[in-house]
């Protein structure tokens, strides 16, 4: 089994709904995003997925979020856009292009990460 990982980032504001504490107020993060790809078969160049293509497609998904107020985006209306929700959103966006996506991690800061994957 082979596994690849690419890392990117985006900056955006959000606030949590149905939450009591500081995070109910609008605030921002510089999120770090990790996307993992797993597979058994390499292509004719002996690669699983071209890193360049993987990074390009991840950028497209993250551009939807970058420098935005996430709560104001249509896809997050009436949803508390936690790091967990963002990890699934990015996972779903990447899975449309890369069926081999196995996991997405979203870091709010250097000490806190949410992961999303399917069993």
Active site residues: 23, 67, 108
Can you tell me which residue has the tokens 């991840």?
58
Please count the helices (runs of H) and the strands (runs of E) in the chain.
2, 4
Q: Distance between CA atoms of 14 and 31, rounded to whole angstroms?
A: 12
Token output for 5: 């990982």
Give me the half-sphere count of Cα atoms (radius 13 Å) on the Cβ side of residue 83. 21
Beta strand 112-116 pairing with 2-14: unpaired
3-class secondary-structure state, position 65 = coil
Distance CA 110, CA 119 (A): 26
């Amino acid at each position: 089994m082979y596994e690849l990982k690419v890392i990117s980032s985006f900056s955006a504001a959000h606030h949590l709904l149905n939450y009591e504490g500081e995070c109910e107020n609008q605030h921002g993060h510089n999120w770090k995003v990790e996307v993992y790809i797993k597979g058994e078969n390499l292509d004719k160049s002996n690669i699983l997925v071209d890193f360049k293509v993987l990074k390009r497609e991840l950028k497209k998904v993250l551009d939807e979020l970058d420098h935005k107020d996430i709560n104001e985006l249509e896809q997050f209306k009436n949803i508390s856009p936690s790091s967990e929700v963002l990890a699934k959103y990015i996972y779903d966006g990447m899975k449309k292009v890369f069926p081999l996506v196995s996991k997405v991690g979203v870091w709010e800061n250097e000490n806190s990460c949410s992961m999303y994957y399917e069993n």
